Amino acid sequence: MTAESPAPVTELPSPDPGGAVEIATLLPSTNDSGVGINVRTGEPRRSWLIRLVTIATWLAAGFAAASLLWFYWIAVTDFYHASWLTAQFEKVQKVYGVLLVVGLTVATLLVATSSIITGYYAWFGYRWTRVAGIIAAALSPLTLLLNPVGWAAIPLAMLGAGLLWLPAAAAHFQAWQDHRHPLTQFAAPVTSVFYGPLPRYRRD
């Protein structure tokens, strides 16, 4: 038997480098609100107005909490002069005193929680915080039941609620809406389909 010579190896032509197709990449995030995009985070930039809203609402929550803590501190030695509400009573039974403390605590939590929610979600561009701001401003007078420490929460909560209705805030909300729900971009339709080996791979 004679060994068969191996079949000659034919090298296929390499693809034309000039015909390389560029890999498509995602388009940068854009919006029609006029608000710029932060290059570092990819999120819409926050204006001074939104920063002021967040500061005002969180300060309102802080003053309300400080007022409650001051009430707790004074109530240890002088319960009936620790707040405006308790000053309306000359003497109450212990059970009713506990109820007064619980009521003041709940009132303060309502003011502080609503203000914190408004500031936090306004920072991230949720439009419904306009309504939340109104609720926070409406609840802020509950601090009148405590002491003057918490009264500063009233103008701060109202300031934050009012700023959310300015045009700059509307642009901020729209920019974040576009950021969270970008428009779907469809690929161009394919008009011709090539079947079989590509011409550059044929041996004809």
Per-residue pLDDT tens over the stretch 75-116: 999 999 999 999 998 888 889 889 999 999 999 999 999 999
Does residue 177 register a pLDDT over 90? Answer: no
Does residue 19 register a pLDDT over 90? Answer: no
Quickly count: other Cβ atoms within 10 Å of residue 28's Cβ. Answer: 8
Per-residue pLDDT tens over the stretch 51-65: 999 999 999 999 999
Is 49 in contact with 169 (CB distance < 8 Å)? Answer: yes
Of 26 and 143, more confident: 143
Q: How far apart are CA 199 and CA 37, in angstroms?
A: 46
- The span from the first CA to the last CA of the chain, in angstroms, equals 34
pTM: 0.72
Using pLDDT thresholds of 50, 70 and 90, give the confidence band for residue 187: confident
Per-residue pLDDT tens over the stretch 120-137: 999 999 999 999 999 999
pLDDT at position 191: 75
Quickly count: other Cβ atoms within 10 Å of residue 106's Cβ. Answer: 11
List beta partners, residue 44: 37
Is 79 in contact with 140 (CB distance < 8 Å)? Answer: no
Residues in contact with 156: Cβ distance below 8 Å, sequence separation at least 6, in sequence order: 56, 57, 59, 60, 63, 115, 140
Half-sphere exposure of residue 84, counting CA atoms within 13 Å on the CB side? 12
